[in-house]
Amino acid sequence: MVTLETKIAGVVLSNCIYNASGPRCTSPKQLIELNESNSGAILTKSCTENMREGNRTPKYYSNEMGSLNSNGLENLGYKIYSNFPYSIDLKKPYIVSVSGMSVYENINILTELKDNERVSLIEFNLSCPNIIDKPQIAYDFTLMDEYLHIITHTYNRKFGIKLPPYFDPFQFDRAAEIINKYPLVKYVTCINSVGNALIIDTINETTVIHPKSGHGGLGGHYIKPIGLANIRQFSKRLRKDIDLIGVGGIYNGMDAFEYILCGASAVQVGTCYYEEGIECFERISNELKNIMREKSYKNIKDFKGKLIEI
Ligand code: RRO
């Protein structure tokens, strides 16, 4: 029997494949669909204190290589995500992504969420690339350290963080050094979209999205090698009690297999879920199980992090 069961931060997921924060996880209807699906967890769209309509449209574009988004944190406000799990029969872990617009907003959101026993985990988003005139927190290491300090003192439960892609060994060293100081950080999700990328419509000679002069977060096939490298680099630097979750360009079982081989304990599906819909979780899970059967692996621990460096 092959199983995709895994644990993140001590929470058991019957399937290591679930949705990334962003696509199709904003409305209660979408969250209910995830609850009924093969996704291993329900992860919400990043939320703020108040509801936001986000950036001006067009703010999403996709092609066969991936996607470009500048959603701008469109969400219903944290109270909807805090109340949601009480209205349904939860079949799997419910994870809330939090991305308040200021440190004070984050404190308010976390103060409410910390007593909510229906919320299995939070994923604190330190890497939204699409807020006009706001930097990605995790690219400013001093700010990231301050945020983690404040969160740890406000939210006294274990939690996870979502990071942007890093590119240089110095960045991995510095980020890991900071994260390792905070014992409540028990998982790290890599990577958010590659920020401020530009795709051109050559027929019309225009940008393909409107906000930020056409610059947005790149996802999908374009970014898989960057995501894999981030998981690999952090697997060598983070404390052993910190689980890694891989995201970026996962469309099939082999993509998931690669992330786990690099050290991921679970994987999230973003662009592919947006494009294909809820059926992608069953398909990718079956593909990963078939790969495991062919290789005589019974569970993901049999190959997690075991990439051979030649
Ligand atoms: O809402 C967005 O524009 C967005 C967010 Br919060 C994020 O973390 N990553 C992304 O690609 N888009």
Q: Which one of 46, 62, 274 would you pick to mutate in the ligand 1 pocket, going by the greatest count of ligand atoms within 8 A of its CB?
A: 46
**So what's the pLDDT on residue 133?**
87
pLDDT digits over 131-187, tens only?
Answer: 988 899 999 999 999 999 999 999 999 999 999 999 999 999 999 999 999 999 999
Residue 20 has which token pair? 């990334």
Q: Is 230 in the pocket of ligand 1 (CB under 6 A)?
A: no
CA distance 10 to 64: 37
Q: Are strands 243-247 and 94-98 parallel, antiparallel or unpaired?
A: unpaired
Nearest CA to ligand 1 atom 5: 128
Please measure the distance between the N-terminal and C-terminal CA atoms of the chain and give it in whole angstroms. 31
**So what's the pLDDT on residue 298?**
98
Sign, Cα dihedral of 274, 280, 285, 291: negative
Nearest CA to ligand 1 atom 9: 128
Of 33, 39, 37, 47, the residue nearest 13 (C-alpha): 39
CB 210 within 8 A of CB 148: no
CB 24 within 8 A of CB 31: no
Sign, Cα dihedral of 80, 186, 111, 165: negative
Burial of 301 (0-12, 13-18, 19+ CB in 10 A): middle
**So what's the pLDDT on residue 294?**
98
Ordered mean pLDDT values, 10 residues apiece, the chain (310 residues): 97 98 98 98 98 98 98 98 95 98 95 96 97 93 97 94 98 98 98 98 98 98 99 98 99 99 99 98 98 98 98
Q: Is 120 in the pocket of ligand 1 (CB under 6 A)?
A: no
Residue 262 annotated among the catalytic residues of the structure: no
Counting from 1 in the atom list of ligand 1, the atom nearest the Cα of 192 is 9
Phi, psi angle pair for 138, to nearest 5°: -75, 0
Distance 116 CA to ligand 1 centre (A): 25
Of 171, 30, 18, 43, the residue nearest 99 (C-alpha): 43
Put simply, whether the predicted model's pTM sits higher than 0.75 gets the answer yes
Of 233, 216, 254, 264, the residue nearest 54 (C-alpha): 216
Counting from 1 in the atom list of ligand 1, the atom nearest the Cα of 59 is 3
